[in-house]
């Protein structure tokens, strides 16, 4: 439905990388305005997106969006097509209706306050005028209570139907009862009505809620942008040999795609021709590339390293790796739904307490005095009004807004609404290795070997310079680090896919590649621990270059930080024993598990959960996705696979792991602040309730008490901005 609507208006959305300044807007909009097919192009700097509206006579198809992308590329911007998802739109709709409700409540509270102030200060006001003021207030307040209170009534009704209590139950009850009592009072021409308190309560609460919603939808949209950067095109190979670029989502089983070296494999499938190495680290956590040839199975998301592959797609039906992972994720999801939010837990204690207090006020007055049932009821409702959970309703959202925006500045996106609460409870941290503790990039490991001389490195680099293979690039990086010149040889270089490179230098044949390519027997320097490259020069001893995945700079510091706080830190990796053991030793970790399949990771988590451990899972690979869902709370780096990012509660954008510690610190402090806010709300109630129960409450006191408590709670939350956050030591 939405898609047809989008087609009708012919608007296409793009995410643009690196939009910063006003000049970018001008350049992009100016350049696109020259295209005669485009009616209007508009850049949104806040969301980093571009909306292009095509002229009505242009028929929309993939080719046109290519035009926009290439036009932007010419002026130095990278753009990606962006699909607005259903979730995005629903979030936007929710934010908009909250904004409407807030606007109405704001209008109402300002106007009613004007009337109320004149009633409070007008001692000489006669009764008729006062009653008229009350009726005007009722005229404004009642429709407002119906319209602006709707979000609360709906949620309260939902909770009651499910036989639960949430914060919206006491809020709704207070709003409805206060309105009813004020209306009764207006009708009976009494002195006191509380219309101003009702609409002010709604206005405060809606403001808090709107900000909370806005912050989260902002984080989600940034996360969504990050994912768009990963959208990949697939090259479809037709039977007549022609190729066509189409979006990966458009692929269907049975089609044949061509994947060039360095390209991402777009879907699960079987190789029908070609030989290459495939980097599967994002899927299995395994660091050594796997060799594939005809009839090998390959998985979506893995990267083809050095040979062109033609792949017949098998995915979307049957038992693909992805299906298996999705099933695992769904099962894991069910375990988590039991979590009850802090605010709702507070409400479960608070609501019955307040209602009992109010009931005993009524009974107390009714049975032990002679003021009659009407006055007793009015006193009972006064208790409800003064205990109106304004501060309590704001306690959580305000803290969350401040915490999320603080984390946003540190590069952490808070995706889940209750993520911060859950993170604060954590006592066990589980790390994935490849791509999480490590950067997922190979680095030369055996530079201490006597064979790895600057001369050999330079010679190897002269061949490696031309290749885009990750190991070759790692070799070049290693040379740069040691100030060894990397100049490509002038002689012709021949590259054999899946094997290596060959060139003739000074009449000697030089080869750089795998063991087989260099003709080295398997028993010579056996190695199944590192990724390897061999350099062989005819007549000379072959040289072995070993590569291992590089640790993130501050992985050691961060692991140490958690260990010092007596938390259990565990590493679960899909990689082989030797590699995992070495990494554990480097990090000072005593608990780890190697060769883990996705099921194994879940099993470990479930077992620990059964022991009452609250687990934080940090992982990036597709194989981590079910574990991310199963854990109490989860964090992914922004380099993670799309499915993992969807599964995680937080995403961090930095190269450093220190952001994980920061997220934890902020969550712990915000939990402290939430409790402090609850405590303040309680103290305020303890002071105020006796007044109300004694029948001494006036509307002026109610209004002052409510605004004061809200301001105190908000100011308290802002203290989070002054908290000092962890910074890892530079190596």
Nearer to other proteins by C-beta: 51 or 270?
A: 51
Q: Does 129 bind other proteins (CB under 8 A)?
A: yes
Q: Please tell me the distance from the alpha carbon of residue 142 to that of residue 144, in angstroms, as a whole number.
A: 5
Burial group, residue 458, by CB count within 10 angstroms (0-12, 13-18, 19+): middle
Q: For 448-590, where are the alpha helices, taking DSSP H only?
A: 454-464, 470-481, 555-564, 577-587
Return the residue of 87, 132, 371, 704 that touches other proteins, per CB under 8 A: 132
Closer of 107 and 447 to other proteins (Cβ): 107
Paired tokens of 570? 């565990």
- Taking the alpha carbons of 312, 318, 319, 320 in that order, is the dihedral positive or negative? positive
Q: What single-letter DSSP state applies at residue 261?
A: T
Residue whose CB is less far from other proteins, 122 or 690: 122
Active-site residue (options: 432, 554, 613, 624)? 432
If one asks whether residue 694 binds other proteins (CB under 8 A), the answer comes out as no
Indicate left, alpha or beta for 525 from its phi (over 0: left) and psi (-120 to 50: alpha): left
Across the beta sheet with 290-292, the strand order is 290-292, 276-279, 303-304
Residues 6+ apart with CB under 8 A from 381: 177, 178, 181, 358
43 sits near other proteins (criterion: CB under 8 A): yes
Of 45 and 327, the one with the shorter C-beta distance to other proteins is 45
Tokens representing 471 are: 């190991």
Shortest spacing between CB 22 and other proteins, in angstroms: 3
Q: What is the 3-state secondary structure (H, E, C) of 51-64?
A: EEEECCCCCCCHHH
- Show the site string, 66-105: x = touches other proteins by CB under 8 A, - = not: --------x---------------------x--xx--xx-
Could you say which of 45, 62, 87, 363 contacts other proteins (CB under 8 A)?
A: 45
Q: How far is the CB of 21 from other proteins (least distance, A)?
A: 8
Among 41, 79, 101, 115, binds other proteins (CB under 8 A): 115
- Smallest distance, Å, CB 420 to other proteins? 25
Which CB atom, from 43 or from 357, has the smaller least distance to other proteins? 43
Least CB distance to other proteins at residue 129 (A):
5
317 binds other proteins per the rule CB under 8 A: no
Provide, rounded to whole angstroms, the least separation between the CB of residue 26 and other proteins. 6
Q: Considering only CA atoms, give the Rg of the chain.
A: 32
Sign of the dihedral through C-alpha 588, 589, 590, 592: negative
The answer to whether residue 432 is catalytic is yes
Query: CA-to-CA distance for 431 and 498, rounded, in angstroms?
Result: 32
Cα–Cα distance measured from residue 359 to residue 38, given in angstroms and rounded to the nearest whole number: 67
Cβ distance to other proteins smaller for residue 23 or 490? 23
- Token duo for residue 437: 């503790």
| Smallest separation (angstroms) from other proteins to the CB of 385 | 25
Q: Cα(7)–Cα(4) distance, rounded to whole angstroms?
A: 5
Candidate list 6, 83, 111, 698; residue touching other proteins; CB under 8 A: 111
Local structure of residue 728 (DSSP, 8 states): P
Give how many residues touch other proteins by CB under 8 A: 28
Residues 511 and 504: their CA atoms lie apart, in Å, by 9
Q: What is the smallest separation between the CB atom of 13 and other proteins, expressed in angstroms?
A: 12
- Exactly one of 38, 79, 138, 140 binds other proteins (CB under 8 A); that residue is 140
For residues 104 and 313, which CB has a smaller minimum distance to other proteins in the complex?
A: 104
Q: What is the dihedral of CA 213, 103, 678, 726, to 10 degrees?
A: 40
Of positions 8, 114, 117, 715, contacts other proteins by CB under 8 A: 114
Residue 207 near other proteins by CB under 8 A: no
- Which tokens belong to 596? 């883990």
Interface positions, 1-30, toward other proteins (CB under 8 A): 21-22, 25-26, 30
Using the minimum distance from each CB to other proteins, give the nearer residue, 133 or 173: 133
Where does this chain touch other proteins (CB under 8 A) — which range of 132-140, 160-168, 345-353, 445-453? 132-140
Among 44, 85, 243, 369, binds other proteins (CB under 8 A): 44
Q: Which residues of 35-70 are buried (b: 16+ CB within 10 A; e: fewer)?
A: beebbebebeeebbbbbbebeeeeebeeebbeebbe
Supply the minimum distance, in Å, between the C-beta of residue 93 and other proteins: 12
Residue closer to other proteins by CB (options 107, 153) is 107
Opening angle at CA 628, ends 626 and 630, nearest 5: 70
- Specify whether the CB–CB gap between 174 and 389 falls below 8 A: yes
Q: At its nearest, how many Å lie between other proteins and the CB of residue 44?
A: 4
Sites of contact with other proteins (CB under 8 A)? 21-22, 25-26, 30, 34, 43-47, 74, 96, 99-100, 103-104, 107, 110-111, 114-115, 125-126, 129, 132, 136, 140
Would you please indicate which residues are annotated as catalytic (active-site) residues? Answer: 432
């Amino acid at each position: 439905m939405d898609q047809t609507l989008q087609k009708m208006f012919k608007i296409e959305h793009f995410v643009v990388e690196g939009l910063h300044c006003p000049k970018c807007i001008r350049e992009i909009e100016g350049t696109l305005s020259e295209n005669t097919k485009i009616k209007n192009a508009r850049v949104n700097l806040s969301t980093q997106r571009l909306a292009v509206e095509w002229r009505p006579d242009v028929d929309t198809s993939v080719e046109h969006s290519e035009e926009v992308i290439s036009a932007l590329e010419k002026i130095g911007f990278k753009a990606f097509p962006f699909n607005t998802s259903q979730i995005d739109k629903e979030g936007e709709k929710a934010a908009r209706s909250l904004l409407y409700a807030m606007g109405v409540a704001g209008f109402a509270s300002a106007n009613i306050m004007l009337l109320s102030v004149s009633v409070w200060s007008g001692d000489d006001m006669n009764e008729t005028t006062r009653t008229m003021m009350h009726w005007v207030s009722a005229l404004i307040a009642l429709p407002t209570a119906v319209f602006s209170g709707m979000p609360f009534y709906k949620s309260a009704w939902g909770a009651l139907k499910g036989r639960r209590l949430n914060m919206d139950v006491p809020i709704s009850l207070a709003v409805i009862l206060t309105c009813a009592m004020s209306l009764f009072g207006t009708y009976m021409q009494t002195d006191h009505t509380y219309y101003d308190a009702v609409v002010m309560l709604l206005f405060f609460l809606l403001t808090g809620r709107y900000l909370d919603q806005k912050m989260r939808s902002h984080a989600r949209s940034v996360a969504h942008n990050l994912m768009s950067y990963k959208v990949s095109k697939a090259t479809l190979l037709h039977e007549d040999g022609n190729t066509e670029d189409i979006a990966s989502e458009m692929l269907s089983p049975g089609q044949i795609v061509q994947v060039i070296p360095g390209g991402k494999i777009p879907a699960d499938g079987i190789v029908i021709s070609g030989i290459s190495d495939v980097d599967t680290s994002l899927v299995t956590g395994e660091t050594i590339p796997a060799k594939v040839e005809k009839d090998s199975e390959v998985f979506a998301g893995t990267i083809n390293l050095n040979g062109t592959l033609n792949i017949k797609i098998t995915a979307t039906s049957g038992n693909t790796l992805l299906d298996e992972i999705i099933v695992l994720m769904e099962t894991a999801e069910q375990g988590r739904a039991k979590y009850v939010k802090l605010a709702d837990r507070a409400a479960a204690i608070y609501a019955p307490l307040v209602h009992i207090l109010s009931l005993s006020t009524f009974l107390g007055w009714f049975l032990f005095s002679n003021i009659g049932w009407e006055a007793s009821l009015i006193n009972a409702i006064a208790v409800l009004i003064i205990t109106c959970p304004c501060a309590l309703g704001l306690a959580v959202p305000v803290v969350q807004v401040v915490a999320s925006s603080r984390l946003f500045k540190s590069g952490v996106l808070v995706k889940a609404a209750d993520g911060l609460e859950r993170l604060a409870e954590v006592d066990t941290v589980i790390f994935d290795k490849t791509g999480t503790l490590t950067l997922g990039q190979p680095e030369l490991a055996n530079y201490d070997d006597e064979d790895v001389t600057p001369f050999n490195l330079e010679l190897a680099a002269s061949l490696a310079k031309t290749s885009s293979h990750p190991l070759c690039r790692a070799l070049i990086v290693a040379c740069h680090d040691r100030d060894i010149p990397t100049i490509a040889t002038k002689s012709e270089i021949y590259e054999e896919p899946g094997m290596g490179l060959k060139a003739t230098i000074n009449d000697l044949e030089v080869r750089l590649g795998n063991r087989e390519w260099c003709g080295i027997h398997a028993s010579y320097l056996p190695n199944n621990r590192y990724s390897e490259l061999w350099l062989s020069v005819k007549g000379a001893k072959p040289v072995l270059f070993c590569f291992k995945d590089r640790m993130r700079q501050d992985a050691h510091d961060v692991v140490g930080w958690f260990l010092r706080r007596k938390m259990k830190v565990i590493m679960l990796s899909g990689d082989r024993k030797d590699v995992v053991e070495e990494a554990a030793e480097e990090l000072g970790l005593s608990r780890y598990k190697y060769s883990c399949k996705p099921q194994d990771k879940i099993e470990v988590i479930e077992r620990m959960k059964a022991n009452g451990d609250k687990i934080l899972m940090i992982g990036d690979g597709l194989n981590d996705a079910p574990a991310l869902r199963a854990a109490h709370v989860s964090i992914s780096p922004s380099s993670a696979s799309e499915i993992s990012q969807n599964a995680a509660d937080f995403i961090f954008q930095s190269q450093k792991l220190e952001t994980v510690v920061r997220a934890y610190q902020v969550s712990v402090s915000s939990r402290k602040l939430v409790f402090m806010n609850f405590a303040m709300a309680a103290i305020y109630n303890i002071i105020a309730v006796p007044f109300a129960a004694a029948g001494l409450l006036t509307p002026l006191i109610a209004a002052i008490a409510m605004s004061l408590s809200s301001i105190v709670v908000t100011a308290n939350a802002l203290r989070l901005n002054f908290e000092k956050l962890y910074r890892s030591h530079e190596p």
